[in-house]
A and B are shown apart, each in its own frame.
Chain A
Amino acid sequence: MNIIIGTVVLMALAAWVWQRLATPGNREAALAGTRRMVLMNTPRLIVALISAGLFAELLPEEVVRTYLGDTSGVTGVLLGAGLGVLTPGGAFVSFALAAGASQAGASTAVLVAYITAWALFGLTKLIAEELAFLGARFIAVRVALTFPLPLIAGGVALAV
Protein backbone atom coordinates (compact mmCIF):
# COMPACT_ATOMS: atom_id res chain seq x y z
CA MET A 1 0.00 0.00 0.00
CA ASN A 2 2.80 2.29 1.03
CA ILE A 3 4.61 1.59 -2.21
CA ILE A 4 1.51 2.33 -4.27
CA ILE A 5 1.01 5.72 -2.59
CA GLY A 6 4.68 6.61 -3.04
CA THR A 7 4.58 5.54 -6.69
CA VAL A 8 1.45 7.55 -7.44
CA VAL A 9 2.84 10.67 -5.75
CA LEU A 10 6.12 10.44 -7.65
CA MET A 11 4.38 9.74 -10.95
CA ALA A 12 2.26 12.86 -10.49
CA LEU A 13 5.37 14.87 -9.67
CA ALA A 14 7.18 13.43 -12.70
CA ALA A 15 4.24 14.32 -14.94
CA TRP A 16 4.29 17.89 -13.63
CA VAL A 17 8.05 18.12 -14.23
CA TRP A 18 7.56 16.75 -17.78
CA GLN A 19 5.07 19.57 -18.36
CA ARG A 20 7.48 22.18 -16.98
CA LEU A 21 10.36 20.97 -19.17
CA ALA A 22 8.24 22.32 -22.04
CA THR A 23 10.64 21.86 -24.99
CA PRO A 24 11.62 18.59 -26.73
CA GLY A 25 15.30 19.47 -26.18
CA ASN A 26 14.86 19.79 -22.43
CA ARG A 27 12.88 16.56 -22.27
CA GLU A 28 15.53 14.73 -24.25
CA ALA A 29 18.26 16.01 -21.91
CA ALA A 30 16.24 14.97 -18.85
CA LEU A 31 15.71 11.49 -20.26
CA ALA A 32 19.43 11.20 -21.05
CA GLY A 33 20.20 12.18 -17.44
CA THR A 34 17.69 9.62 -16.21
CA ARG A 35 19.29 6.90 -18.32
CA ARG A 36 22.72 7.80 -16.91
CA MET A 37 21.40 7.64 -13.35
CA VAL A 38 19.81 4.25 -13.98
CA LEU A 39 23.09 2.87 -15.33
CA MET A 40 25.14 4.32 -12.47
CA ASN A 41 22.83 3.34 -9.66
CA THR A 42 21.12 0.06 -10.53
CA PRO A 43 24.08 -2.14 -9.46
CA ARG A 44 24.39 -0.45 -6.08
CA LEU A 45 20.64 -0.40 -5.55
CA ILE A 46 20.49 -4.18 -6.05
CA VAL A 47 23.41 -4.82 -3.69
CA ALA A 48 22.07 -2.40 -1.05
CA LEU A 49 18.53 -3.78 -1.01
CA ILE A 50 19.76 -7.35 -0.66
CA SER A 51 22.08 -6.16 2.12
CA ALA A 52 19.07 -4.62 3.89
CA GLY A 53 17.43 -8.05 3.91
CA LEU A 54 20.60 -9.73 5.16
CA PHE A 55 21.03 -7.15 7.93
CA ALA A 56 17.45 -7.68 9.07
CA GLU A 57 18.25 -11.37 9.33
CA LEU A 58 21.57 -10.84 11.13
CA LEU A 59 20.80 -8.07 13.59
CA PRO A 60 20.12 -9.72 16.94
CA GLU A 61 16.52 -8.71 17.61
CA GLU A 62 16.85 -8.83 21.35
CA VAL A 63 19.86 -6.51 21.39
CA VAL A 64 18.22 -4.10 18.91
CA ARG A 65 14.97 -4.05 20.95
CA THR A 66 16.80 -3.42 24.20
CA TYR A 67 19.18 -0.70 23.06
CA LEU A 68 17.37 0.83 20.08
CA GLY A 69 13.74 -0.15 20.67
CA ASP A 70 10.72 1.83 21.86
CA THR A 71 11.81 1.78 25.48
CA SER A 72 15.39 2.92 24.79
CA GLY A 73 14.39 6.60 25.09
CA VAL A 74 17.10 9.25 25.16
CA THR A 75 19.89 6.67 25.42
CA GLY A 76 18.67 5.08 22.20
CA VAL A 77 18.59 8.46 20.44
CA LEU A 78 22.17 9.18 21.54
CA LEU A 79 23.27 5.72 20.46
CA GLY A 80 21.50 6.09 17.10
CA ALA A 81 23.16 9.46 16.46
CA GLY A 82 26.59 8.04 17.33
CA LEU A 83 26.14 5.04 15.05
CA GLY A 84 25.02 7.38 12.25
CA VAL A 85 28.26 9.37 12.40
CA LEU A 86 30.31 6.17 12.30
CA THR A 87 28.47 4.32 9.49
CA PRO A 88 30.83 4.10 6.50
CA GLY A 89 29.87 4.51 2.86
CA GLY A 90 27.07 6.28 1.04
CA ALA A 91 23.31 6.53 1.38
CA PHE A 92 22.87 2.91 0.36
CA VAL A 93 24.73 1.47 3.33
CA SER A 94 23.03 3.65 5.93
CA PHE A 95 19.49 3.26 4.55
CA ALA A 96 19.96 -0.49 4.16
CA LEU A 97 21.11 -0.68 7.78
CA ALA A 98 18.22 1.52 8.93
CA ALA A 99 15.72 -0.69 7.09
CA GLY A 100 17.27 -3.78 8.68
CA ALA A 101 17.22 -2.21 12.15
CA SER A 102 13.63 -1.10 11.65
CA GLN A 103 12.58 -4.68 10.91
CA ALA A 104 14.52 -5.90 13.92
CA GLY A 105 12.58 -3.52 16.19
CA ALA A 106 14.45 -0.19 16.35
CA SER A 107 12.17 2.72 17.25
CA THR A 108 11.21 5.62 14.96
CA ALA A 109 13.03 8.18 17.15
CA VAL A 110 16.26 6.17 17.07
CA LEU A 111 16.06 5.84 13.28
CA VAL A 112 15.38 9.58 12.88
CA ALA A 113 18.47 10.35 15.01
CA TYR A 114 20.52 7.76 13.11
CA ILE A 115 19.64 8.98 9.61
CA THR A 116 19.90 12.65 10.56
CA ALA A 117 23.32 12.18 12.19
CA TRP A 118 24.61 10.14 9.25
CA ALA A 119 23.27 12.68 6.75
CA LEU A 120 24.77 15.68 8.55
CA PHE A 121 28.00 14.32 9.98
CA GLY A 122 28.77 10.89 8.47
CA LEU A 123 32.56 10.67 8.68
CA THR A 124 33.07 9.14 5.22
CA LYS A 125 31.40 12.11 3.56
CA LEU A 126 33.14 14.69 5.74
CA ILE A 127 36.59 13.26 5.10
CA ALA A 128 36.19 12.19 1.48
CA GLU A 129 34.33 15.18 0.09
CA GLU A 130 33.63 18.09 2.41
CA LEU A 131 37.26 18.35 3.56
CA ALA A 132 38.51 18.49 -0.02
CA PHE A 133 36.11 21.15 -1.23
CA LEU A 134 35.28 23.30 1.78
CA GLY A 135 38.25 22.76 4.10
CA ALA A 136 38.81 21.79 7.71
CA ARG A 137 37.87 25.20 9.13
CA PHE A 138 34.44 25.13 7.49
CA ILE A 139 33.80 21.60 8.77
CA ALA A 140 34.92 22.54 12.29
CA VAL A 141 32.63 25.59 12.40
CA ARG A 142 29.69 23.70 10.88
CA VAL A 143 30.03 20.78 13.29
CA ALA A 144 30.60 23.03 16.32
CA LEU A 145 27.50 25.11 15.57
CA THR A 146 25.06 22.44 14.36
CA PHE A 147 26.02 19.22 16.17
CA PRO A 148 22.83 19.12 18.32
CA LEU A 149 20.53 18.87 15.27
CA PRO A 150 20.30 15.03 15.20
CA LEU A 151 19.51 15.04 18.90
CA ILE A 152 16.83 17.73 18.40
CA ALA A 153 15.29 15.72 15.53
CA GLY A 154 15.45 12.47 17.52
CA GLY A 155 14.05 14.23 20.59
CA VAL A 156 11.10 15.65 18.65
CA ALA A 157 10.43 12.19 17.17
CA LEU A 158 10.53 10.79 20.69
CA ALA A 159 7.91 13.31 21.78
CA VAL A 160 5.41 12.76 18.94
Chain B
Amino acid sequence: MSDVKADETSSSEPPTGRTSPFDSSFIILLVVATGASAGVAFTEGPGRVAEIAASYLGFLALLSPKILCGFFIAASVSILVPREMLTRWIGAGSGARGLLIACLAGALVPGGPSMIFPLAAGFRAAGASLAVLITFVTAWSLYGINRTVIWEMSFLHIDFVLLRVLICLPLPLLAGWFVAQVMRQVTR
Protein backbone atom coordinates (compact mmCIF):
# COMPACT_ATOMS: atom_id res chain seq x y z
CA MET B 1 0.00 0.00 0.00
CA SER B 2 2.67 2.51 1.04
CA ASP B 3 4.79 1.80 -2.05
CA VAL B 4 1.80 2.65 -4.20
CA LYS B 5 1.28 5.97 -2.45
CA ALA B 6 4.99 6.81 -2.66
CA ASP B 7 4.82 7.98 -6.24
CA GLU B 8 5.42 11.70 -6.22
CA THR B 9 3.79 12.61 -9.51
CA SER B 10 0.39 11.40 -8.44
CA SER B 11 -1.76 13.91 -6.60
CA SER B 12 -4.66 13.17 -4.34
CA GLU B 13 -6.83 13.03 -7.45
CA PRO B 14 -9.14 10.03 -7.63
CA PRO B 15 -8.31 7.55 -10.41
CA THR B 16 -11.17 8.90 -12.51
CA GLY B 17 -9.65 12.35 -12.65
CA ARG B 18 -13.02 13.73 -11.66
CA THR B 19 -13.30 15.58 -8.39
CA SER B 20 -16.99 16.44 -8.54
CA PRO B 21 -19.93 14.65 -10.13
CA PHE B 22 -21.23 18.05 -11.29
CA ASP B 23 -18.58 19.48 -13.60
CA SER B 24 -18.99 21.37 -16.86
CA SER B 25 -19.32 18.22 -18.98
CA PHE B 26 -22.20 17.04 -16.80
CA ILE B 27 -23.88 20.42 -17.15
CA ILE B 28 -23.62 20.17 -20.95
CA LEU B 29 -25.10 16.68 -20.71
CA LEU B 30 -27.98 17.95 -18.57
CA VAL B 31 -28.71 20.74 -21.04
CA VAL B 32 -28.69 18.27 -23.93
CA ALA B 33 -30.92 15.84 -22.02
CA THR B 34 -33.38 18.58 -21.07
CA GLY B 35 -33.58 19.69 -24.71
CA ALA B 36 -34.16 16.11 -25.87
CA SER B 37 -36.89 15.50 -23.26
CA ALA B 38 -38.59 18.75 -24.20
CA GLY B 39 -38.44 17.70 -27.85
CA VAL B 40 -39.99 14.29 -27.20
CA ALA B 41 -42.58 15.75 -24.78
CA PHE B 42 -43.56 18.30 -27.40
CA THR B 43 -43.84 15.88 -30.33
CA GLU B 44 -45.18 12.79 -28.57
CA GLY B 45 -46.34 13.89 -25.15
CA PRO B 46 -44.71 13.69 -21.71
CA GLY B 47 -45.93 10.12 -21.27
CA ARG B 48 -43.52 8.94 -23.94
CA VAL B 49 -40.59 10.62 -22.11
CA ALA B 50 -41.45 8.63 -18.98
CA GLU B 51 -41.77 5.43 -21.04
CA ILE B 52 -38.34 5.91 -22.62
CA ALA B 53 -36.77 6.83 -19.27
CA ALA B 54 -38.20 3.69 -17.66
CA SER B 55 -37.06 1.38 -20.44
CA TYR B 56 -33.52 2.81 -20.48
CA LEU B 57 -33.27 2.61 -16.69
CA GLY B 58 -34.10 -1.07 -17.05
CA PHE B 59 -31.35 -1.34 -19.65
CA LEU B 60 -28.95 0.36 -17.22
CA ALA B 61 -29.83 -2.21 -14.54
CA LEU B 62 -28.96 -4.92 -17.05
CA LEU B 63 -25.67 -3.22 -17.82
CA SER B 64 -24.70 -2.47 -14.23
CA PRO B 65 -22.67 -5.65 -13.50
CA LYS B 66 -20.58 -4.99 -16.60
CA ILE B 67 -20.09 -1.32 -15.78
CA LEU B 68 -19.11 -2.19 -12.22
CA CYS B 69 -16.44 -4.62 -13.49
CA GLY B 70 -15.20 -1.89 -15.83
CA PHE B 71 -14.90 0.58 -12.94
CA PHE B 72 -13.00 -1.97 -10.88
CA ILE B 73 -10.55 -2.73 -13.70
CA ALA B 74 -9.95 0.96 -14.37
CA ALA B 75 -9.41 1.68 -10.67
CA SER B 76 -6.99 -1.26 -10.39
CA VAL B 77 -4.75 -0.36 -13.31
CA SER B 78 -3.49 2.80 -11.61
CA ILE B 79 -2.49 0.67 -8.64
CA LEU B 80 -0.83 -2.04 -10.72
CA VAL B 81 1.07 0.46 -12.87
CA PRO B 82 2.00 3.50 -10.74
CA ARG B 83 2.29 6.78 -12.61
CA GLU B 84 5.88 7.42 -11.62
CA MET B 85 6.94 4.13 -13.23
CA LEU B 86 5.04 5.08 -16.37
CA THR B 87 6.62 8.52 -16.57
CA ARG B 88 10.07 6.96 -16.27
CA TRP B 89 9.36 4.42 -19.03
CA ILE B 90 7.85 6.94 -21.40
CA GLY B 91 10.36 9.71 -20.80
CA ALA B 92 13.21 7.34 -21.57
CA GLY B 93 11.54 5.49 -24.42
CA SER B 94 12.70 6.17 -27.96
CA GLY B 95 12.41 4.63 -31.41
CA ALA B 96 9.90 1.91 -32.16
CA ARG B 97 10.08 0.61 -28.60
CA GLY B 98 9.21 4.05 -27.23
CA LEU B 99 6.20 4.29 -29.53
CA LEU B 100 4.99 0.82 -28.49
CA ILE B 101 5.26 1.69 -24.80
CA ALA B 102 3.45 4.99 -25.38
CA CYS B 103 0.69 3.21 -27.29
CA LEU B 104 0.26 0.60 -24.57
CA ALA B 105 0.28 3.26 -21.86
CA GLY B 106 -2.35 5.31 -23.70
CA ALA B 107 -4.58 2.26 -23.92
CA LEU B 108 -4.14 1.25 -20.27
CA VAL B 109 -3.97 4.47 -18.26
CA PRO B 110 -7.41 4.98 -16.78
CA GLY B 111 -9.04 8.38 -16.64
CA GLY B 112 -10.58 11.11 -18.71
CA PRO B 113 -9.00 14.16 -20.37
CA SER B 114 -8.52 15.98 -17.06
CA MET B 115 -6.18 13.14 -16.09
CA ILE B 116 -4.51 12.26 -19.38
CA PHE B 117 -3.37 15.72 -20.55
CA PRO B 118 -1.59 16.65 -17.29
CA LEU B 119 0.03 13.22 -17.45
CA ALA B 120 1.19 13.88 -21.03
CA ALA B 121 2.60 17.24 -19.90
CA GLY B 122 4.52 15.30 -17.25
CA PHE B 123 5.89 12.93 -19.90
CA ARG B 124 7.02 15.93 -21.93
CA ALA B 125 8.79 17.35 -18.89
CA ALA B 126 10.45 13.95 -18.41
CA GLY B 127 11.91 14.20 -21.92
CA ALA B 128 9.43 12.32 -24.11
CA SER B 129 9.61 13.17 -27.83
CA LEU B 130 6.75 14.69 -29.82
CA ALA B 131 6.20 11.38 -31.64
CA VAL B 132 5.89 9.54 -28.33
CA LEU B 133 3.48 12.16 -26.93
CA ILE B 134 1.25 12.09 -30.00
CA THR B 135 1.23 8.28 -29.96
CA PHE B 136 0.19 8.36 -26.30
CA VAL B 137 -2.59 10.92 -26.80
CA THR B 138 -3.82 9.17 -29.96
CA ALA B 139 -3.91 5.73 -28.33
CA TRP B 140 -5.75 7.06 -25.30
CA SER B 141 -8.23 8.90 -27.55
CA LEU B 142 -8.88 5.90 -29.77
CA TYR B 143 -9.02 3.06 -27.25
CA GLY B 144 -8.26 4.18 -23.71
CA ILE B 145 -9.52 1.54 -21.29
CA ASN B 146 -12.01 3.80 -19.47
CA ARG B 147 -13.63 5.14 -22.56
CA THR B 148 -13.83 1.87 -24.45
CA VAL B 149 -14.49 -0.70 -21.75
CA ILE B 150 -16.78 1.30 -19.51
CA TRP B 151 -18.51 3.83 -21.73
CA GLU B 152 -18.44 2.78 -25.35
CA MET B 153 -19.39 -0.81 -24.54
CA SER B 154 -22.27 0.44 -22.39
CA PHE B 155 -23.84 2.38 -25.22
CA LEU B 156 -22.91 0.45 -28.35
CA HIS B 157 -22.85 -3.21 -29.33
CA ILE B 158 -19.74 -5.12 -28.40
CA ASP B 159 -19.16 -6.26 -32.01
CA PHE B 160 -19.24 -2.64 -33.17
CA VAL B 161 -16.78 -1.63 -30.46
CA LEU B 162 -14.46 -4.52 -31.28
CA LEU B 163 -14.54 -3.69 -34.99
CA ARG B 164 -13.77 -0.04 -34.29
CA VAL B 165 -10.92 -0.87 -31.91
CA LEU B 166 -9.50 -3.41 -34.36
CA ILE B 167 -9.51 -0.82 -37.16
CA CYS B 168 -7.92 1.79 -34.88
CA LEU B 169 -5.33 -0.56 -33.33
CA PRO B 170 -2.38 0.39 -35.60
CA LEU B 171 -3.29 4.08 -35.95
CA PRO B 172 -1.40 5.49 -32.91
CA LEU B 173 1.81 3.77 -34.05
CA LEU B 174 1.24 4.94 -37.61
CA ALA B 175 0.72 8.50 -36.33
CA GLY B 176 3.84 8.33 -34.14
CA TRP B 177 5.96 6.96 -36.96
CA PHE B 178 4.71 9.68 -39.31
CA VAL B 179 5.38 12.42 -36.72
CA ALA B 180 8.91 11.08 -36.21
CA GLN B 181 9.55 11.19 -39.99
CA VAL B 182 8.22 14.74 -40.27
CA MET B 183 10.23 15.95 -37.25
CA ARG B 184 13.37 14.43 -38.76
CA GLN B 185 12.78 16.39 -41.97
CA VAL B 186 12.03 19.60 -40.08
CA THR B 187 15.05 19.48 -37.79
CA ARG B 188 17.44 18.44 -40.55
Binding site for B on A (CB under 8 A): 2-3, 5-7, 9-11, 13-14, 17-18, 20-21, 23, 25-26, 28-34, 36-41, 43-55, 57-58, 88-93, 95-96, 98-99, 102, 108, 111-112, 115-116, 119-120, 124-125, 128-130, 132-134, 138, 141-142, 145-146, 149, 152-153, 156-157, 160
Q: What are 17 A-B pairs at a CB distance below 8 A?
A: A7-B66, A33-B78, A33-B79, A37-B71, A40-B20, A40-B21, A45-B60, A89-B28, A111-B160, A112-B167, A119-B141, A133-B120, A138-B133, A146-B134, A146-B175, A153-B171, A160-B163
Ranked nearest first, the 10 interchain pairs of A and B with the lowest CB-CB distance are A33-B75, A25-B1, A89-B28, A90-B25, A54-B36, A133-B117, A95-B155, A10-B69, A129-B113, A14-B69
Task: Check if B85 is an interface residue, CB within 8 A of chain A.
Answer: no
Which residues of B in the span 18-65 have a Cβ within 8 Å of any Cβ on A? 18, 20-22, 24-26, 28-30, 32-33, 36-37, 39-40, 43-44, 48-49, 52-53, 55-57, 59-60, 62-63, 65
**A78 CB, min distance to chain B CBs, angstroms:** 17
A145–B180 Cα gap in the complex (Å)?
10
**In the complex the two chains form, is B66's CB within 8 Å of A91's CB?**
no
Nearest CB in chain B to that of A142: its residue = B134
A20–B39 Cα gap in the complex (Å)?
48
Q: A10-B73, A44-B21 are in contact. Are A26 and B52 (CB under 8 A)?
A: no
Nearest CB in chain B to that of A36: its residue = B14
A93–B73 Cα gap in the complex (Å)?
23
A129–B115 Cα gap in the complex (Å)?
9
A95–B150 Cα gap in the complex (Å)?
11
**In the complex the two chains form, is A112's CB within 8 Å of B25's CB?**
no
**In the complex the two chains form, is A44's CB within 8 Å of B26's CB?**
yes
Contacts of B79 in A (CB 8 A): 21, 26, 29-30, 33
Contacts of B178 in A (CB 8 A): 145-146
Nearest CB in chain A to that of B42: its residue = A58
Contacts of B9 in A (CB 8 A): none
**A126 CB, min distance to chain B CBs, angstroms:** 9
A88–B141 Cα gap in the complex (Å)?
16
A30–B14 Cα gap in the complex (Å)?
11
**In the complex the two chains form, is B142's CB within 8 Å of A116's CB?**
yes
**In the complex the two chains form, is A91's CB within 8 Å of B151's CB?**
yes
Summarize B's interface: helix, strand, loop or mixed: helix
Task: Check if B168 is an interface residue, CB within 8 A of chain A.
Answer: yes
Task: Check if B94 is an interface residue, CB within 8 A of chain A.
Answer: no
**A36 CB, min distance to chain B CBs, angstroms:** 5
A133–B167 Cα gap in the complex (Å)?
29
A116–B76 Cα gap in the complex (Å)?
26
A111–B1 Cα gap in the complex (Å)?
42
Which of B1, B24, B137, B159 is close to A29, meaning CB atoms less than 8 Å apart?
Answer: B1
Contacts of B18 in A (CB 8 A): 40-41
Contacts of B114 in A (CB 8 A): 129
Contact with A along B63-89 (1 / 0, CB 8 A): 101111111111111111000000000
